[in-house]
Amino acid sequence: MRWGSPLSGYVVRGGGQLRFHMFSVELPPMLAFGGSRVERVMDVVCSEFGCTSENGLEVARLKQLQTFPVMVWLAVTATTSKPSRSLLQALLAYTPRSAIDLLLELADAETAYKRRRPLIPPRRLYAASRVLRGILRLHGYPVEV
């Protein structure tokens, strides 16, 4: 896969897991989660951004200004049973800086690049998801409790 723009993002579904990549699909994912919600989350992503199938993987390519809002939305959605399209559209309109900073602080690049694992480990992602829901609720976003 070719390199995209400096802040391009990719949402990839394959093998029962959903992964969010920044910059290139060849790098380790920023975050990843599995489970029953993967299909519902990918349905929302595909309806908003469009998807292509490559080698058995479903890939949604994001533009520069969509990368961070989708990353925050995926982190919040990691622990909810039903993904919210209205929350995604609200985050695309404006994403609080505190939510982005929280996720970037959790990234553990040293371990992830050595072991080809997500930059944000699942344990940290699930804890951050609860904190992000609180942050977004304080900002008035339509967050599911």
| Total number of residues shown for the chain | 145
**Residue-level pLDDT at 3:** 46
Q: Find the mean pLDDT for residues 9-31.
A: 90
Q: Is 101 left (phi over 0), alpha (psi -120 to 50) or beta?
A: alpha
The pLDDT tens digits of the residues spanning 55-109 come to: 889 999 998 889 999 999 999 998 887 889 999 999 999 999 999 999 999 888 7
The pLDDT tens digits of the residues spanning 123-145 come to: 899 999 999 999 999 999 998 76
Of the candidates 34, 3, 4, the one whose C-alpha atom is nearest the C-alpha of residue 12 is 34
Q: Which residues contact 35 (CB under 8 A, 6 or more apart)?
A: none
Cα 53 versus chain centre, distance:
19
**Residue-level pLDDT at 62:** 92
User: Which sequence spans correspond to the domains of the chain?
Assistant: 9-138
Does the structure show a pLDDT above 80 at 111? no
Whole-angstrom distance, CA of residue 129 vs CA of residue 110: 22
Count helices and strands (H / E) in the chain: 6, 5
> How deeply is 72 buried, as exposed, middle or buried, from its count of CB atoms within 10 A (0-12, 13-18, 19+)?
buried
**Residue-level pLDDT at 145:** 65
Whole-angstrom distance, CA of residue 124 vs CA of residue 13: 21
